[in-house]
Amino acid sequence: MQVKVKLFAGFRDGRFKERLLELEDGSSVRAVVKSLGINQEDVGVTMLNSRHCSLDSRLRDGDILAIFPVIGGG
């Protein structure tokens, strides 16, 4: 299956801004984070199709996954 993965802030350094990834069916968000070499503790927010999701959420073909570090502002 294919999932569009979007990275933000420092997660883009040495990786990418946006990319279609070929994944095994039923892969979890955690597996994607791990495969990208991102430290789980550095992850602040993950969104699947514009809704918050957990690291254990399962991905489906055509999903859009956004991964943000811990951020703030206002």
Q: Where do contacts with another protein occur on this chain (CB under 8 A)?
A: 6, 8-10, 12, 17, 42, 44-45, 47, 50-52, 66, 68-74
Closest alpha carbon to 56 in 34, 72, 23, 39: 34
Question: Phi, psi (5° rounding) for residue 40?
Answer: -55, -40
CB of 45 to another protein, least distance (A): 6
| Start-end of H helices in the chain | 29-35
Q: Report the residue number, 27 or 46, with the smaller CB distance to another protein.
A: 46
Nearer of residues 35 and 45 to another protein, judged by Cβ:
45
Q: How far is the CB of 22 from another protein (least distance, A)?
A: 22
Q: Write phi, then psi, for 25 (nearest 5 degrees).
A: -50, 135
